Structure 1
Amino acid sequence: MPIPSRERLLDDHQPTAVRDRLATPVRASTLPDAVLGGIDGCVTTFAVVSGAFGAGFSPQVALVLGFANLLADGFSMAVSNYEAGQAQLAQIASAERTERQHISLVPEGEREEIRQLFRAKGFEGKQLEQVVEVLCRDPDVWVTTMLHEEYGLSAAGLNPLRAALATFAAFLAVGILPLIPYALPGLGITTQFLTSLGLAGGVFLGIGMLKSAVYGLPAWRSGLRTLFMGTAAAGLAFATGYLAQGLLGG
């Protein structure tokens, strides 16, 4: 990610620009969900292809298993991501109810929690008491502060449905790539597998590098790490299929 110039940063930190930026509702990035879905989609689908090739199955069987697995696992992963987001929202709602109840029943005790939390940040004396007074003046601000400072929770930008859809879309879009060679006529089974292997390797490397570029990290290191993990998963699936075929003698 390119580093902005000092002039650009100065413009972005003028009072009006800061006010407008902070007034904009927070929207959580779906990139982590898409990266997770894309990597898992490619790993899962190519693992099926590798297992089928190792077991000596026909290309048609590999294609059917791959598509079935692509849809079922993609949906399962999206649902899991959605449920995880809903569970996080439920946790936040539960903690909020608890804090509101505590503020109602033992307000001085909750004030003392605010006091100690901000004393740990370096506030002391009159300045600390002013912070406590301001934060505890509005119950909503009070509760939000407690959720963030005591529990480390925030619902800002959290959208389980959007995260689930991003995961599902990336899982399908990326996961289908290793299956493409098996849908092309005229290719031998070994050529199909090697082409699928090349596509999967390119996907692993590309996703890792893209993720690093977005977050300003070393691209090749992340790309190679993702490639290594994907290759290891595919190798494990191939070995499992090969050993199962030998043990079952099918």
Structure 2
Amino acid sequence: MHPDSDEKLSEEHRPEAIREKLNRPAKENVAADVVLGGIDGCVTTFAVVSGVVGAGFSPVVALVLGFANLIADGFSMAVSNYESIQTQGEFIQSIRETEQEHIRRVPEGEREEIRQIFQNKGFSGETLEKIVDTISADQQLWIDTMLIEEHGVQITNRNPVKAAIATFASFVFIGSVPLIPFMVPGLTPLLQFAISACLAGLMFFSIGAFKSRLFDKPVFRSGISTLLTGGTAAMLAFLVGYVLREIFGIAAL
């Protein structure tokens, strides 16, 4: 992590710079969706490849099952992410409507809630009453304050469509990388699997590195952590395939 210089920090905290930043509309951040989709896509695909190879099946089977799982699981994950974000938005809207109804029916009770919330933050006397009067004078501000302070929810709604698209695109793009060697003619199954493993490892490390860059964390440590997570899932799939092959006496193709 490289801390900003004092000069840069001072420049960013000038009154006009702060005003411009606060008036700027919030950007939709889909980085978490990209990371989630990428990791799950690579784990899913390479787990299929490892299971197929561990069971001794033909590389063509790995290719077919890999792409089938890639599209189906990617779509399922995108829909799940969409539904999750949409449900969260509906939940927040229901709380907003409830608070609006309470303000209409028992305004003094809602004012008392504001008073006690900020009293617990250390405000008292005339200052506390000014805060209560200021917030309760603006119904939108009043409701937003209750959402954050009483219910502990974020008032910024995410776009479920953008999140779903980012998840699906990342899932399919990164998840397809381990399948590339199986589309190259002339390679032995063992070499195909070895190259696929290297590509999957590279993807896992790259995702971890990308995540670390977003939050100014150590790149190598984050990359290795993600690599170990994905590698463990692939190893389990390989072992399951191998054990089942031995148990049922499946002949390698």
- TM-score after normalising by structure 1: 0.97
Contact persistence 2:147–2:155 (CA under 8 A): no
- The letter of the residue matching 2:54 is G
Alpha-carbon deviation of 1:147?
0.5
Alignment partner, residue 31 of structure 2 = 31
Alignment partner, residue 221 of structure 2 = 221
Contact persistence 2:56–2:245 (CA under 8 A): yes
Please list, as runs of the form range in 1=range in 2, the aligned pairs for 1:46-195 lying within 5 A after superposition.
Answer: 46-156=46-156, 158-195=158-195
Q: 1:2 to 1:157 in 2, by over 3 A?
A: farther
* Structure 2: gaps of 5 or more residues: none
- The letter of the residue matching 1:22 is L
Partners of 2:161 and 2:149 lie apart in 1 by 27
Q: Deviations over 1:12-31 (max 9, x none)?
A: 11111111110111123111
Alpha-carbon deviation of 1:249?
2.2
Contact persistence 2:54–2:241 (CA under 8 A): yes
Contact persistence 2:144–2:155 (CA under 8 A): no
* Structure 1: gaps of 5 or more residues: none
- The letter of the residue matching 2:217 is L
Partners of 1:119 and 1:28 lie apart in 2 by 34
Partners of 2:166 and 2:195 lie apart in 1 by 27
1:237 equivalent in alignment to 2:237: yes
- TM-score after normalising by structure 2: 0.96
Alpha-carbon deviation of 1:132?
0.5
Point out 4+ residue stretches in structure 1 off by more than 6 angstroms: none
Contact persistence 1:77–1:167 (CA under 8 A): yes
User: Aligned Cα RMSD in Å?
Assistant: 1.1
Q: Deviations over 1:156-201 (max 9, x none)?
A: 2511111111111111110000000000011100000010000111
Matched residue SS, 2:121: coil
- The letter of the residue matching 1:145 is T
